[in-house]
Amino acid sequence: MIIRANMVENIHTLFEQSSQFLSEVGVERATSYLEAGLHDIRCHVDSAVWKERIVPEGRCASFYLQLLECPFTKHSTLRPRGYMGDAELIDYVYGIDLPAKLGNSSQVGRELCLAWLAHPSSQAVRERRERIGLWIDEIAAQIDRPDVFSLACGHLREIPASKAFCAGKLGRIVGLDQDVLSLEHIRKNWGAVSRPELIEASAFSLLTHDNDIGTFDCIYSAGLFDYLDQRSCELLTAALFGMLKSGGQLVVGNFLGMARGPAVMELIQDWWLVYKSSHDIKQFTIEIPREEIEEQSFIEDHMQQIVYVRLTKTR
């Protein structure tokens, strides 16, 4: 489909054809064609060429303006909270208040939004929430009222996915995030009885021991590592592991980036993750003494999008 001799020309052709598909056969065919074409181009150019030449050219296409009718895409590109992948954007993926979010959009905008939210990368994010909820339940079945800590907690959507939480069987719930609006959202929308302890701080404050928040039976970070370089992931994994109680468990994960998703996220939604290989993700544990790890596992999700590191501290 793509003639690799002139990628800049091809990006315009791709957008023109996608626009034609949109008007003639609908959103599903148009987005599928666009995604495949962008993935093909991204795979055959240097990363600098992709970011500095191809992406700006794609955003000059008239069809790109139509893609911005999608409220999910518009939110992602505008970055109203000043950074990528904010909690409000993730709420789109979770389908929270989605009818209201789509209410003022055009028909095409609504259909585009639903198409992107059906993508495997979005499915992987929803699966991640459910996995963490189930994992918390597993710990709650072994430990009476386990204490839980979420790093870069966002709107803390994973905790209500836990049946143990809904049954009032968790102990301390602590969330740390540098976005004050995310923390305010939790304060306003959680009941007074179940409201967690919230800390406004950077994740890197854990490396300098600026926050003495205690130890926990389970610790997780749902999406933070997708934005960090390899060394930061290694250091934060060790810091989080050090906050575990004896027998406590830690779960972190990272997107692999081998499928088609990255090309659409980067060019269309201006959403840039730091994708890592399975080997890189396994190396997150490199700063933890082996004798302190009782058990470790590396789990790939059903969509082959995210690899999770799950560690148990020696009892």
Query: What is the full per-residue pLDDT of the chain (315 aa) written as tens digits?
Result: 444 457 888 899 999 999 999 999 999 999 999 999 999 999 989 999 999 999 999 999 999 999 999 999 999 999 999 999 999 999 999 999 999 999 999 999 999 999 999 999 999 999 999 999 999 999 999 999 999 999 999 999 999 999 999 999 999 999 999 999 999 999 999 977 778 999 999 999 999 877 789 999 999 999 999 999 999 999 999 999 999 999 999 999 999 977 778 999 999 999 999 999 999 999 999 999 999 999 999 999 998 999 999 999 999
pLDDT value of position 125: 97
pLDDT value of position 175: 97
DSSP symbol at 290: G
CB 37 within 8 A of CB 1: yes
d(CA 67, CA 209): 44
pLDDT value of position 7: 80
pLDDT value of position 98: 96
d(CA 179, CA 119): 27
